[in-house]
Amino acid sequence: MIPRIRGFSMASATLAAAMLLGTAVWAQAPRTPSPAGAKVYFLSPADGAVVKGPVKVVMGLSGMGVAPAGVDIGNTGHHHILVNAPAGMKMDMNAALPADSVHRHFGLGQTETTLALPPGKHTLQLLLGDKGHVPHDPPVMSEKITITVEP
């Protein structure tokens, strides 16, 4: 019989401790370096474009290669699109990017996608992530573009 401590079994406590330890070790790992001159950019849409939805987005990368999340190959990463990121939004460049309505992940190595955006103005920005969704050092990030989606 596994002893229980305050409602948790020893197995649960051991698993929780291992997860926390693993997270602490992962968080302390050095960021993946990016090569000098690496750039990420939008092939489409163009800055200032007026488009009908859904919006086809094609992502470009030079000076590096694309690899899925979890794959550890030097000078590679995978795309993330920041959609309508608030001005002045602070990002922890030492942590994995969150997965939410602002931070869109393309961890399978995708270089194009279709975004369902409501009519109106939207900002898009690309940020390359390493095998663990952490931005490279220095970050490989595009300029922010603005598009207008028509109904």
The predicted-structure confidence for 108-143, as pLDDT tens digits, reads as follows: 999 999 999 999 999 999 999 999 999 999 999 999
pLDDT at residue 29, rounded to an integer: 60
> Which of 46, 32, 47 lies closest to 128 in space, CA to CA?
32
Nearest-5° Cα angle at 14, 9 to 15? 100
- Please provide the DSSP assignment of 4-72 as one string: EETTEEHHHHHHHHHHHHHHHHHHHSPPPB--TT-EEEEEESPTT-EEESSEEEEEEEESSEE--TT--
pLDDT at 19 over 60: no
- The pLDDT value recorded for residue 144 is 97
Write down the pTM of the prediction.
Answer: 0.80
Mind listing the pLDDT tens digit for each residue in 23-53? 433 444 689 999 999 999 999 999 999 999 9
